Amino acid sequence: MITGDIPPNQTIYIKNLNEKIKKEELKRSLYCLFSQYGRIFDVVALKTPKLRGQAWVVFSEVTAASNAVRQMQNFPFYDKPMRIQYAKSKSDCVAKEDGSFVPREKKKKQEEKAERKRRAEEAQQSSMANGTGAQSNGGTAASFRNANTQETAAPNNILFIQNLPHETTSSMLEMLFQQYPGFKEVRMIEAKPGIAFVEFEDDVQSSMAMQALQGFKITPQNPMAITFAKK
């Protein structure tokens, strides 16, 4: 048993991740991939020698973590099968919520100063995973509404995806859609962020993927809107 005897935890520990992927991209993609199981509080990944190739995904519910451990076990992610277990301990962001958080006493004065600075910077910069991100969805929501008023195309083998966060990449979508039989390719247009086309072998297979991923949230603000492409 891959989870060993680690008791269930709302945080999952993932290893065998592709170490070539940059930290920020890795976190975004993990967030994208795992938000299908529930609300994600945080994604932690460090590239230090000891911690590269590993990550923690903190869910709001243990049940979400359990489903993720089971269903995403060995999922090919950036060409490597993910190995997923429950985390061995409670995440800081969870401890902070339930009041049991005690800051670790490991730092020297120099480092503390550096950390305070970092935190200040982060507050400015925003992170996607905690939902306080500053990336604007206003424009996307508007174009989504407009597009929605258009007539629907007849079922066919190409899906039209809307309301994607602008930082979505084709490889992120590939990881989501390739789970479904008949997947052929993802196409995105540089000049048109927020949308994508996903091609399948036939319209039955595209329909299956549409049903499975309809409303899938890459971020809490971005439920996917999937329709058939106009031919």
Partner DNA sequence: AGCACA
CB of 177 to DNA, least distance (A): 26
CB of 36 to DNA, least distance (A): 20
For DNA, the closer CB: 101 or 179: 101
Q: How far apart are CA 84 and CA 215, in angstroms?
A: 25
- Only one of the segments 48-56, 158-166, 179-187, 193-201 lies at the binding site for DNA (rule: CB under 7 A); that segment is 48-56
Contact status: 19 vs DNA (CB under 7 A): yes
Q: How far apart are CA 175 and CA 33, in angstroms?
A: 8
The owner of tokens 């991939």 is: 33
Contact status: 112 vs DNA (CB under 7 A): no
For DNA, the closer CB: 58 or 159: 58
CB of 87 to DNA, least distance (A): 4
CB of 3 to DNA, least distance (A): 8
- Only one of the segments 13-21, 27-35, 155-163, 201-209 lies at the binding site for DNA (rule: CB under 7 A); that segment is 13-21
Binding residues for DNA restricted to 53-92, rule: CB under 7 A:
53-54, 56, 58, 85-92
Torsion, Cα of 165, 73, 44, 4 (10° steps) = 160
For residue 181, how many C-alpha atoms fall within 13 Å in the half-sphere facing its CB?
A: 5
SS3 readout for 111-146: HHHHHHHHHHHHHHHCCCCCCCCCCCCHHHHHHHHH
CB of 12 to DNA, least distance (A): 9
For DNA, the closer CB: 85 or 156: 85
Q: How far apart are CA 214 and CA 210, in angstroms?
A: 5
In order of 165, 194, 209, the CA distances from 148 in angstroms are 17, 14, 20
- Only one of the segments 114-122, 145-153, 194-202, 210-218 lies at the binding site for DNA (rule: CB under 7 A); that segment is 114-122
Structure token digits, residue 228: 């058939």
DSSP string, 46-85: --STTTTT-EEEEESSHHHHHHHHHHTTT-EETTEE-EEE
CB of 160 to DNA, least distance (A): 37
Contact status: 18 vs DNA (CB under 7 A): no
Contact status: 34 vs DNA (CB under 7 A): no
For residue 51, how many C-alpha atoms fall within 13 Å in the half-sphere facing its CB?
A: 9
Contact status: 40 vs DNA (CB under 7 A): no
Binding site for DNA (CB under 7 A): 6, 11, 13, 15-17, 19, 42, 44, 46, 48, 50-54, 56, 58, 85-93, 104, 115, 118, 122
